[in-house]
Chains A and B, each alone.
Chain A
Amino acid sequence: MITADKKMADLIHLNYLLVSVITRFDIRLGFGDKTIAEVCKENSVNTEFFLEIVNSFHDKEYFPGKHLQGFSIKLIIDYLSKTHQYYLTEKIPEIEQLIDQMVNKCYGHHKHAHLLRSFFKEYKEELISHISREDETVFPYASEVENAYLSKKESKQKQISQKGYHIDEYRSEHNNIEEKLFDLKNIIIKYLPSPENQALCSKVLSALFILEQDMNDHSRIEDNVLIPKVILMEKAIHTTNAI
């Protein structure tokens, strides 16, 4: 288990994929021999929350989500939105560019190579619309529920009650998006003709595998931490206001 007294540098040595995770907390490299606790403090990051996130990212077994549920929805949403930004501004453009190169350089003579490009484009559009739905609708709703719950003000709670919808309705459209990513990998691995430049394919595949792993962690937090937490608050609000 990763603890607060561990050196931040050792965390990255342990799992280099965590570089992208610490970036979401606005923590920059160059931390010398400082511990996780010290670096978090300097960057005004909640150390406990940071530890939960990196532990559950690093070790699937660690993830019961129970500890994470103790943190505020605001904190969780903040992290999830940052992750969305990371997908949209870094991962997706990076992969798109790599796929473009790959189509041109690896399968230049193949008449159907462009299919890969359009398949990825479709995936990207689906992902973007899924993310914007969460950022624009689901997350603001979840914050409202938390505010109303914490305020204990009847008027605010009534507002939520009267909306008449539940977070449950948003429960995961992740499936199709995950499946598309899975298909994309297999099309490259199994079904496109042998590439002229395998190094490029290897780059694309690594990027896809890393994205997939990151997204699995992300969906786990949404499905097993955020949504159950909102459901609990919704229930409390609805019961109070029903009486």
Chain B
Amino acid sequence: MGKIKVLIASTSYIILKGLNFVLKESEDIDVVWNTEVEELLASIIKNKPDFVILSGEIVNQKNLKEIQKLHGKTKPIIIFLKTDEHINTPAFCDEIISLYKDKNNLTEQFSQIVLKYTSGKPREVTSTGLSKREKSILRHIALGLTSKEIGNKLFISTHTVITHRKNISQKLGIKTVSGQTVYAILNGLVTMEEIGS
């Protein structure tokens, strides 16, 4: 999956704007919809958000069930509370965030929630961290070996090598063998002498 789509709803303009602003600071969160309370259900159907964040005053047991049904049980609903004291009341939502958290706490909590509900799902590659195996395959690519030769050398199937190569291209953003060779040299996976050019 790509970036996370979030829908927020509140009767408070300040909370909507503020939350929107805070969420957009996170690199993982891309799309944020502000929704009027009346349009909430329709907006969930239309936008299919990954997360729904509701401010406490609009939530009751009845409408929450309805929201859950439309939103999907596996996807989280986050309740945003205006005061600390209410923290124990809605036991029927997935996460609770307090309005009075400071910036660091808030960001931290958001990123933990994001992590919790997205781990295990394939994510877009965000870092170029090649695995040990990928590095070893890239080294052999730079040395001019074919996928078949690499497979023989590393005792894996050609098919597996091809899969690794696809991942390497995607992670590096470099598609051609000569481009990958340049990368391998720049990163010390092979030396100029070994390549013999």
- Are A180 and B176 in contact, CB atoms less than 8 angstroms apart? yes
Cα–Cα, bound, A118→B172 (Å): 20
Contact of B178 among A119, A186, A192 (CB under 8 A): A119
Cα–Cα, bound, A156→B25 (Å): 68
B186 CB within 8 Å of chain A: yes
CB distance from A215 to the nearest CB of B (A): 16
Chain A residue numbers with a CB within 8 Å of B172 are: 186
A176 CB within 8 Å of chain B: yes
User: For A116, A179, A182, A183, which residue has the most chain B Cβ atoms within 10 angstroms?
Assistant: A183
- Are B178 and A187 in contact, CB atoms less than 8 angstroms apart? no
Quick one: which of A148-187 are within 8 Å of B by CB? 176, 179-180, 182-184, 186-187
B185 CB within 8 Å of chain A: yes
CB distance from B183 to the nearest CB of A (A): 6
Contact of A119 among B128, B175, B179, B187 (CB under 8 A): B179
Q: How many residues on B have C-beta within 8 angstroms of the other chain's C-beta atoms?
A: 15
Chain A residue numbers with a CB within 8 Å of B175 are: 179, 182-183
Known: A112-B185, A112-B186, A115-B185. A190 touches B178 (CB 8 A): no
- Are B186 and A179 in contact, CB atoms less than 8 angstroms apart? no
A122 CB within 8 Å of chain B: yes
- Are A191 and B176 in contact, CB atoms less than 8 angstroms apart? no
Quick one: which of B140-171 are within 8 Å of A by CB? none
Chain B residue numbers with a CB within 8 Å of A116 are: 182
The count of A-to-B residue pairs whose CB atoms sit within 8 angstroms is 45
B129 CB within 8 Å of chain A: no
Chain A residue numbers with a CB within 8 Å of B58 are: none
- Are A115 and B182 in contact, CB atoms less than 8 angstroms apart? yes
Chain B residue numbers with a CB within 8 Å of A118 are: 197
- Are B186 and A180 in contact, CB atoms less than 8 angstroms apart? no
B72 CB within 8 Å of chain A: no
Known: A180-B178, A180-B179, A183-B175. A190 touches B186 (CB 8 A): no
CB distance from A210 to the nearest CB of B (A): 20
Contact of A187 among B128, B179, B192, B197 (CB under 8 A): B179
CB distance from B65 to the nearest CB of A (A): 44
Residue of B nearest to A177 (CB): B176
- Are B186 and A191 in contact, CB atoms less than 8 angstroms apart? yes
Residue of B nearest to A111 (CB): B192
Chain A residue numbers with a CB within 8 Å of B187 are: 191
Contact of B128 among A115, A176, A190 (CB under 8 A): A190
B173 CB within 8 Å of chain A: yes
- Could you list some 27 contacts between A and B, CB below 8 A? A112-B185, A112-B186, A112-B192, A115-B182, A115-B185, A115-B186, A116-B182, A119-B179, A122-B178, A176-B176, A179-B175, A179-B176, A179-B179, A180-B178, A180-B179, A182-B173, A182-B175, A183-B174, A183-B176, A183-B182, A184-B179, A186-B173, A186-B174, A187-B174, A187-B179, A191-B182, A191-B187
Given A183-B179, A186-B172, A191-B187: 15 more A-B contacts, CB < 8 Å: A115-B186, A116-B182, A119-B179, A119-B182, A179-B176, A182-B173, A183-B173, A183-B174, A183-B178, A184-B179, A187-B179, A187-B182, A190-B128, A191-B183, A191-B186
B interface residue numbers (CB < 8 A to A): 128, 172-176, 178-179, 182-183, 185-187, 192, 197
What 9 A-B pairs are tightest by C-beta distance, nearest first? Answer: A183-B179, A179-B175, A186-B173, A183-B174, A115-B182, A179-B176, A183-B176, A180-B176, A191-B186
